Amino acid sequence: MAVLERSRRQTNIETAGDAPATTVRLTIARSDAGAVREFRVALTQPAVVLDALLAGQRLDPSLGFRYSCRVAMCGTCAVRVNGRPTLACQQPITPDTDELLLEPLAGFAVVRDLVVDTSPFWNAWRRVVPWFMPGGPREALPAGDASRAEVERGLDCIACGACWSACDVVVTNAGYLGPAALNRALTLVADERDGARAERLRVAGQQGGVTHCHSILGCTAACPKGLDPSASIRRLRRWSLVA
Amino acid sequence: MGRGTAVAGCPVARRPASDRFQAMDVSFDVLVVGAGCAGMRAAIEAHDAGARVAVVSKLHPTRSHSGAAEGGINAALGNKAEDSPETHAFDTVKGSDYLGDQDAIEIFTREAPGDIYQLEGWGCVFSRNAEGKLDQRPFGAAGSPRTVYSADITGHVLIQVLYEQLQRRMSEGLVVFEEYFAFRLVEDGGRCTGVICWDLLHGGVKAVTGSATILATGGAGRLFRATTNAYACTGDGMAMALRAGLPLKDMEFMQFHPTTMYPSGILITEGCRGEGGYLLNKDGERFMKRYAPNALELASRDVVSRSETTEIEAGRGVNGSVMLDLRHLGPEKILNKLPGSRELAMTYAGVDPIFAPIPVRPGAHYHMGGVETDEWGLTPLEGLYAAGEVACVSVHGANRLGGNSLMETITFGRRAGRHAAEYALGRTAAANGRAETARADAEAWVDGLLAVEQGERPWQIRDELGQSMLENFGVFRYPDKMDRQVGIIDELRHRYGRGVVIEDKGTVFNSDLTQAIELGYLLDLAACMLQAGVVRKESRGAHSRPSDFPERDDENFMKHSITTWVDGAPQLSYREVRMTKWEPMVRSY
């Protein structure tokens, strides 16, 4: 209940109006050496990092970053905030925040400012053969069944790349599939309707697969959807050993 | 850093390097613009029909706004209670306030079940009952529990399944141009032969040509300050079609969702009211008891949106909002049943609903209008198709039912993909004579935009547009406010036309440029909506005129408004609604 007590104190009961502004100093990693790196933006509360970026873009329209849904559903706006990968649209800027360091996701080449080339992420994704192949029973995964829970656990991955940025292995091992692709593989392997379980486990178990994971849980700590890719990898590892 | 190279041995399907793709180098049988549910479904179908297919999208496909749909997708499977396509059709006709085209609706509801089973066959993880059959939940204004769903992430699961099927076909030759912003149609000899795009990542104006083109670019919620829509929903396809001389249909009909958070318009699901949440005015009164004494907070969306607006306009709101109160549900229920909504409220409204009510107001949610098409998605321009929210077939008429929009993207995406492929394969490749000229024209136009050094910043106009549309053309349309808004749109269009300054002159990821182009789209569409709204002197579905024409007028207005662009201004005409078997009745629930 301590969490709830803190939340109660933070909830502004008279909140329907535009609350007073918070002024934040942003330091943004820019790809053009001559570009402005420091921004001072005023934000009405409640504010998230995306609000600060949009305010910054009005000061310098050349500031590059991706965004779209602004409700943590599309996975477009992942960046590092004070070193930690997160979604810009989901990361609150609390009233007592003075400064923030905004950087592009790690593990990717920078296209412009906070925009990165995510093709290594998607190439890894494709290597697990991410499409369903019918083979099992059609009427399956009943409500409340353990088989269903196994599939649903990793289903909400929005492929934002935060886990990739948080993974120490992908940075040093270019062949590693990474947490998101392996989580996707697990979701399909767990699906008893899928007919390619053996092949999927073979891919997951071979070079670049589950054995490379160092289990430091960076992916799990970073996931903005609260998924546990690290657990998916552990499960895949167990299944690929007995396969 | 520096790990941008492809991994050896991977099937490489990444975006093509820019220098390989100047105009004329790329021609496809079918070109799909937009990669949400409708676009991907169309591309898959066209590929399977044997066509060479390319998809062009300003976002990576999985970033598309279809993924934000929560509730579900309607098909009369009859898994939970007796149901039939006929009942589904009747509910849809009635929900449309008799403005939907009944022949299209009958096709839609007849083909929907097959489309659901096909998605299931592609591995879509729908929620199921204890026997393992697809579960169906009840939704507003539906005569039977008909909405197939996947927990509260139905759109996300559909996007994921469709993207996987797309990837499978990418390994067979289907091409995806990610982060290509399409901004002009190419027309050649009375046929659409492709689109002109701005390559966001590499810069430069590119032509991508095809024998058939399918627009699947989604809606235009960004016309309004309060909207549930993503930043990307700027009506691109509608505006491109309009500028190419094509008719838009029923543009005045924008559905407002009753519970979107102040001020952003971020959606709070209907589930909060389903679990027992109250709507309160500033006196703490449950005002819905005066408007819908039986259904209360669970009355249909348009009824609740209108009731809230009445309260706010009567001075019984709190800073332009009413309050969604969940406190009486208690922490346990809120934490267990509505954790997502609680998190949204805490992040985006600064309110923990366990301790305080959430300020909500109606926000623009779904645009019923769009590019006029027939039941195959074909527009009046040969070779050009449209599917999904960008299109107006019309199955939604004046008001869409929850769960029908995802189904529309699948059923009509498939139909457009099939028809476009057959058309393209049945003829010789598109003559590309016009493509390079069109590309060069477009490039000169972009250069002109970038050359402006003095003037306003686009965002000033965008802010005024969104705010004024919400104030003057929102849930209620009053004659004086609409007149005022017509003047405001004229002025904003004038200011935009005079030239706005794009300060970023760069080529790589220049969002200053694309936002300026999107603003031009929104301004044109606003002008169309206003004109159609002013002339429709009745109240029907989402178009509500409480002060001068509070009733539906079937005699004069049971017809579609058709807007074309003539000499830089919208021009209005009408087309009859196609009826099959349902005569208009009073729409009450």
Residue with token string 């402005």: A36
Q: State mean pLDDT over B129-151.
A: 90
B17 conformational bin, left if phi > 0, alpha if psi -120 to 50, beta if neither: beta
User: What is residue B10's predicted lDDT score, i.e. its pLDDT?
Assistant: 31
More confident residue, B206 or B300: B206
CB-CB contact of A53 with A65 (8 Å): yes
CB-CB contact of B358 with A85 (8 Å): no
The pLDDT of residue B391 is above 90: yes
User: What is residue B24's predicted lDDT score, i.e. its pLDDT?
Assistant: 43
Q: Does B10 touch chain A (CB under 8 A)?
A: yes
The pLDDT of residue B269 is above 90: no
Q: Indicate which residue of B191, B301, B414, B462 is catalytic.
A: B301
Q: Closest chain A residue to B512 measured between Cα atoms?
A: A61
Q: What is the pLDDT of residues B237-268, one digit of tens each?
A: 999 999 999 999 999 999 999 999 998 899 99
Across the interface, do B153 and A155 touch by the CB < 8 Å criterion?
Answer: yes
Rounded-to-integer distance, Cα B323 and Cα B331, Å: 18
Rounded-to-integer distance, Cα B81 and Cα B295, Å: 22
Across the interface, do B359 and A142 touch by the CB < 8 Å criterion?
Answer: no
- Chain A neighbors of B153, CB-CB under 8 A: 155-156
The pLDDT of residue B5 is above 70: no
What's the mean pLDDT when you consider all of chain A?
91
Across the interface, do A122 and B135 touch by the CB < 8 Å criterion?
Answer: no
Rounded-to-integer distance, Cα A167 and Cα A212, Å: 11
Q: How far is A111 from chain B (nearest CA, A)?
A: 7
Percent of chain B with pLDDT over 90: 86
Rounded-to-integer distance, Cα A109 and Cα B442, Å: 31
Q: Which of A5-14, B529-538, B579-588 has the highest mean predicted lDDT (pLDDT)?
A: B529-538
How far is CA B221 from its chain centroid?
A: 7
The pLDDT of residue A17 is above 80: no
Strand order of the β-sheet with B147-148 is: B73-74, B147-148, B136-137
* Domain ranges for chain B: 75-156, 263-362, 437-574
Q: Residues of B numbered 119-148 whose beta carbons fall under 8 angstroms of chain A's beta carbons: which are they?
A: 120-123, 125, 127-133, 135
Q: What is the dihedral of CA B97, B101, B104, B109, to 10 degrees?
A: 20
Across the interface, do B231 and A70 touch by the CB < 8 Å criterion?
Answer: yes
- Where along chain A do the CATH 3.10.20.30 domains lie? 2-116
Residue with token string 């699947």: B216
Confidence class for position A4, pLDDT limits 50, 70, 90: low
The pLDDT of residue B93 is above 90: yes
Q: What is the pLDDT of residues B498-515, one digit of tens each?
A: 999 999 999 999 999 999
- Decide: residue B293, CB within 10 A, 0-12 exposed, 13-18 middle, 19+ buried: exposed
User: What is residue B353's predicted lDDT score, i.e. its pLDDT?
Assistant: 96
Q: Which CATH number fits domain B437-574: 3.40.50.300, 1.10.3720.10, 1.20.58.100, 1.10.260.40?
A: 1.20.58.100
Q: How far is B422 from chain A (nearest CA, A)?
A: 26
Side-chain-facing half-sphere of B559: CA atoms under 13 Å: 15
Q: Which of A108, A141, A155 sits opposite B4 (nearest CB)?
A: A108
CB-CB contact of B103 with B580 (8 Å): yes
Across the interface, do A120 and B6 touch by the CB < 8 Å criterion?
Answer: yes
The per-type count for chain A, helices as H runs and strands as E runs, is 10, 9
Tell me which fold the domain A119-242 belongs to. Answer: Fumarate Reductase Iron-sulfur Protein; Chain B, domain 2 (1.10.1060)
Q: What is the C-alpha R_g of chain B? A: 23
Q: How far is CA B277 from CA B139, B145, B152, B272, B353, in A?
A: 17, 22, 18, 6, 10
Residue with token string 């819908």: B292
More confident residue, A80 or B10: A80
- Chain A neighbors of B128, CB-CB under 8 A: 139-143, 148
In a mutational test of the A interface, the residue from B5, B7, B40, B463 whose CB has the highest number of chain A CBs within 10 Å is B7
Q: What is the dihedral of CA B268, B95, B389, B62, to 10 degrees?
A: 40
User: What is residue B127's predicted lDDT score, i.e. its pLDDT?
Assistant: 93
Q: What is the pLDDT of residues B286-317, one digit of tens each?
A: 999 999 998 899 888 888 999 999 999 999 99
Cβ partners under 8 Å of residue A209, min gap 6: A177, A182, A203, A236, A240
- Chain B neighbors of A193, CB-CB under 8 A: 123
CB-CB contact of B366 with B389 (8 Å): yes
Residue with token string 């021609």: B27
- Chain B neighbors of A119, CB-CB under 8 A: 4, 6, 14-15
Beta bridge partners of residue A87, listed in sequence order = A78
Separation of first and last alpha carbons in chain B? 59
The pLDDT of residue B481 is above 90: yes
Q: How far is CA B382 from CA B124, B214, B458, in A?
A: 34, 11, 35
Beta bridge partners of residue B180, listed in sequence order = B199
Q: How far is A217 from chain B (nearest CA, A)?
A: 21
User: What is residue A184's predicted lDDT score, i.e. its pLDDT?
Assistant: 96
Neighbours of B564 (CB within 10 A): 16
Across the interface, do A143 and B2 touch by the CB < 8 Å criterion?
Answer: no
The pLDDT of residue A93 is above 80: yes
Rounded-to-integer distance, Cα B488 and Cα B100, Å: 31
The pLDDT of residue A9 is above 70: no
- Closest by CA position to A189, among listed A121, A130, A127: A130
CB-CB contact of B272 with B327 (8 Å): no
CB-CB contact of B57 with B178 (8 Å): yes
Total length of chain A: 243
Q: What is the C-alpha R_g of chain A? A: 20
CB-CB contact of A170 with B1 (8 Å): no
Q: How far is A123 from chain B (nearest CA, A)?
A: 6
Across the interface, do B59 and A76 touch by the CB < 8 Å criterion?
Answer: yes
Q: Residues of B numbered 166-185 whose beta carbons fall under 8 angstroms of chain A's beta carbons: which are they?
A: 167-168, 171
Q: Closest chain A residue to B8 measured between Cα atoms?
A: A175
In a mutational test of the A interface, the residue from B5, B47, B62, B268 whose CB has the highest number of chain A CBs within 10 Å is B62
Tell me which fold the domain B263-362 belongs to. Answer: Flavocytochrome C3; Chain A, domain 1 (3.90.700)
How far is CA A53 from its chain centroid?
A: 18
Across the interface, do B503 and A108 touch by the CB < 8 Å criterion?
Answer: no
Say if strands B278-280 and A21-28 run parallel, antiparallel, or are unpaired: unpaired
Q: To which CATH superfamily is domain A2-116 assigned?
A: Beta-grasp domain (3.10.20.30)
Q: Is B301 a catalytic residue?
A: yes
Rounded-to-integer distance, Cα B357 and Cα A197, Å: 48
Beta bridge partners of residue B181, listed in sequence order = B198
Separation of first and last alpha carbons in chain A? 45
Say if strands B559-566 and B384-386 run parallel, antiparallel, or are unpaired: unpaired
Q: What is the pLDDT of residues A109-145, one digit of tens each?
A: 999 999 999 999 999 999 999 999 999 888 889 988 9
Rounded-to-integer distance, Cα B269 and Cα B340, Å: 9
- Chain B neighbors of A13, CB-CB under 8 A: 355-356
More confident residue, B124 or B588: B124
User: What is residue B252's predicted lDDT score, i.e. its pLDDT?
Assistant: 98
The enclosing H or E element of A78 equals strand A78-81
CB-CB contact of B153 with B210 (8 Å): no
Q: What is the pLDDT of residues B16-38, one digit of tens each?
A: 444 434 444 568 999 999 999 99
Across the interface, do B11 and A126 touch by the CB < 8 Å criterion?
Answer: yes
Rounded-to-integer distance, Cα B383 and Cα B424, Å: 8
Angle between helices B404-425 and B102-121 (to 10 degrees): 90
Neighbours of B251 (CB within 10 A): 30
Q: State mean pLDDT over B568-576.
A: 97
CB-CB contact of B106 with B118 (8 Å): no
- Chain B neighbors of A8, CB-CB under 8 A: 352, 354-355
Question: How many Å is the maximal CA-CA distance in chain B?
Answer: 69
- Where along chain A do the CATH 1.10.1060.10 domains lie? 119-242
Range of lowest pLDDT (A18-32, A112-126, A197-211, B186-200): A18-32
CB-CB contact of A136 with A195 (8 Å): yes
Alpha helices in B122-215 (DSSP H): 154-170
User: What is residue B163's predicted lDDT score, i.e. its pLDDT?
Assistant: 98
Task: Say what the pTM is.
Answer: 0.94
The pLDDT of residue B94 is above 80: yes
Confidence class for position B4, pLDDT limits 50, 70, 90: very low
Q: Does B161 touch chain A (CB under 8 A)?
A: yes
Across the interface, do B503 and A62 touch by the CB < 8 Å criterion?
Answer: yes
Q: What is the dihedral of CA B107, B111, B113, B115, to 10 degrees?
A: -140
Across the interface, do A90 and B121 touch by the CB < 8 Å criterion?
Answer: no
Percent of chain B with pLDDT over 70: 95
More confident residue, B142 or B265: B265
Neighbours of A159 (CB within 10 A): 24
Q: How far is CA B16 from CA A159, B13, B177, B216, B442, in A?
A: 21, 8, 7, 22, 21
The pLDDT of residue B142 is above 90: no
CB-CB contact of B283 with B348 (8 Å): no
Q: Does B573 touch chain A (CB under 8 A)?
A: no
What's the mean pLDDT when you consider all of chain B?
92
Q: Residues of B numbered 229-268 whose beta carbons fall under 8 angstroms of chain A's beta carbons: which are they?
A: 230-232, 262-264, 266-267
Q: What is the pLDDT of residues B428-444, one digit of tens each?
A: 765 667 889 999 999 99
Total length of chain B: 589
Alpha helices in A86-222 (DSSP H): 119-127, 146-152, 162-166, 168-172, 179-189, 197-205, 218-222
- Chain A neighbors of B354, CB-CB under 8 A: 4, 7-8
Question: In this complex, how many residue pairs, one in chain A and one in chain B, have their CB atoms less than 8 Å apart?
Answer: 213
Q: What is the pLDDT of residues B519-570, one digit of tens each?
A: 999 999 999 999 999 999 999 999 999 999 999 999 999 999 999 999 999 9
Q: How far is B128 from chain A (nearest CA, A)?
A: 5
Q: State mean pLDDT over B447-473.
A: 96
Enter the tokens of residue B355: 């301790």
Enter the tokens of residue B171: 């390994």
The enclosing H or E element of B564 equals strand B559-566
Q: State mean pLDDT over B81-108.
A: 97
Q: What is the pLDDT of residues A28-87, one digit of tens each?
A: 999 999 999 999 999 998 999 999 999 999 999 999 999 999 999 999 999 999 999 999
Q: Does B547 touch chain A (CB under 8 A)?
A: no
Rounded-to-integer distance, Cα B424 and Cα B419, Å: 9
User: What is residue B71's predicted lDDT score, i.e. its pLDDT?
Assistant: 84
- Chain A neighbors of B130, CB-CB under 8 A: 142-144
The pLDDT of residue A108 is above 80: yes
Across the interface, do B356 and A143 touch by the CB < 8 Å criterion?
Answer: no
Q: What is the pLDDT of residues B316-353, one digit of tens each?
A: 999 999 999 999 999 999 988 888 889 899 999 989 99
Q: Does B157 touch chain A (CB under 8 A)?
A: yes
CB-CB contact of A108 with A66 (8 Å): no
Rounded-to-integer distance, Cα B234 and Cα B148, Å: 29
Q: Which of B129, B231, B457 sits opposite A142 (nearest CB)?
A: B129
The pLDDT of residue A168 is above 90: yes
